[in-house]
Amino acid sequence: MADQYDLVVIGSGPGGYVAAIRAAQLGMKTAIVERDALGGICLNWGCIPTKALLRSAEVYETLHRLDEFGLKADNIGFDAEAVVTRSRKVAAQLSNGVKFLMKKNRIDVIEGSGKLAGVGKVAVETKDGKTSELAAKNIILATGARARTVPGLEPDGERIWTYREAMVPKSIPKSLIVVGSGAIGIEFASFYRAFGAEVTVIEMLDRILPVEDEEISKEAARAFKKRGIKLLTGATVEKIEKRKSGVVATVKTGGKSETIEAEIVISAVGIVGNVENLGLEKAGIKVEKTHVVVNEWLETGAKGLYAIGDLVGPPWLAHKASHEGVLAAERIAGVKGLHPIDTTKIPGCTYSTPQIASVGLTEAKAKEEGYEVKVGRFPFRANGKAIALGETEGFVKTVFDAKSGELLGAHMIGAEVTELIQGFGLARTLEATEADLIHAVFPHPTLSEMMGEAVLDAEGRVLHT
């Protein structure tokens, strides 16, 4: 007889394991099925270990600026193997943390690959080929996504890498090409450039970081070029030739073709949902462009069957997956007063140097939606804390509805903006207006003061520029 559960979660990434915890808190007997390491891609091969790598890169770059701070050091260098080892230790620590949380919340962890096996049933196949069956009143699919592969740019683990190989290099290549300028591509470009690699970023659209506000993209391009990163926009890779010493990429830009030689190519051209071998077709679940279709409550249309995280719609972010996991668990439990997730209130972050962060509508999108906007800006170079830190590159931008004063969006580039953005994220969640934010008191001296000044600037009341 199959083991009986109130909820079975397939996948233990930041959406899946959080859903399981919330379900257990709500009194549900819960199991989670995981074929690899607890924590999924985010904790093991994504969000967390990449930030550990980028922290090493940040410290290394700062060491080369010691004279600015009146400091000295000799023989500054790096050990690529040690940098990677630290990153893997951080990932392992957090994966073990998830294991502890599962035990603490009395969640059964089932090792193996899970798939739907009929109404309220999950079949689990272990690595040795054995199969067992779980029975569940409800099921949450949280199988995540993987790197997208395009013809001619198929990863081979040697010359053409995905994020996985890029996270565990045996050495830092002297040169590399990054195809795709979204957050993943730009973060790897930033990391490898910090350690001396000659980096070329190729973007099909007309600007890098195309989902960001246009002014932010422009400032980012300027900053990356200053660091020595070559940017090719409006460009497509026509052909990749592999050679013993590396690769030769034929790139078409503006009707002209050029060849670029490099040791390594990193493919960062998006993701595809892990929808295969889940039994979706038999369950009647709709899939569009490799992602499961759900309603505002994460319901698939099949009774008792939910899907969350990268498996469903954008933005494909770990924190969005976690909130979806909580929402799905609470929906199952019948919690009252729930609200669907508003994706315009979810911050997005890129942990490059400089960092980039945003929430809500870009200026262009706000105008496209018919808003009359008021825009405020404030530069890092006018902020006392930024000057003291030696971090004067970047700015904060705010976008308001001129009629109601609603904060429509906020966009930042510069040091630690990935920490600052949540202030505006909270403002969006609380439906704060320009007047509300003007009355907020920001501590001095902090980088956060720039947020207040950018609000004041939208009203023509900026104090320090």
**Catalytic residue IDs:** 444
Run of H or E residues at 350? strand 348-350
Q: What is the DSSP letter of 406?
A: B
Residues 461 and 303: their CA atoms lie apart, in Å, by: 55
Cα distances (Å, whole numbers) of residue 9 to 78, 127, 378, 444: 42, 19, 45, 46
- The C-alpha atoms of residue 145 and residue 120 are separated, in whole angstroms, by 24
Q: Phi first, then psi: what are they for 107, rounded to 5°?
A: -100, 130
* Six token digits for residue 212: 């960001």
Q: Mapping DSSP to helix (H, G, I), strand (E, B) and coil, where does residue 365 land?
A: helix
Which residues, 6+ apart, have CB-to-CB distance to 398 below 8 Å?
Answer: 375, 376, 377, 407, 409, 410, 424, 451, 454, 455, 457, 458
Pairing assessment for the beta strands 121-125 and 131-141 based on DSSP bridges: antiparallel
Query: Which two structure tokens, joined as six digits, stand for 266?
Result: 């990193």
- Contact residues for 441 (Cβ-Cβ < 8 A; gap 6+): none
**Which H or E run contains 397?**
strand 395-401
Q: How far apart are CA 48 and CA 331, in angstroms?
A: 29
Q: Which two tokens stand for residue 147?
A: 């790197």
**DSSP element (H, E) containing 6:** strand 3-10
Spatial CB neighbours of 262, under 8 Å, sequence gap ≥ 6:
173, 175, 176, 177, 198, 200, 246, 247, 249
Helix (H) or strand (E) holding 240: strand 235-243
Tokens of 353: 């140097």
Q: What is the rounded distance in angstroms from the CA atom of residue 134 to the CA atom of residue 114?
A: 9
Give the strands of the sheet with 235-243, arranged side by side.
235-243, 246-253, 256-262
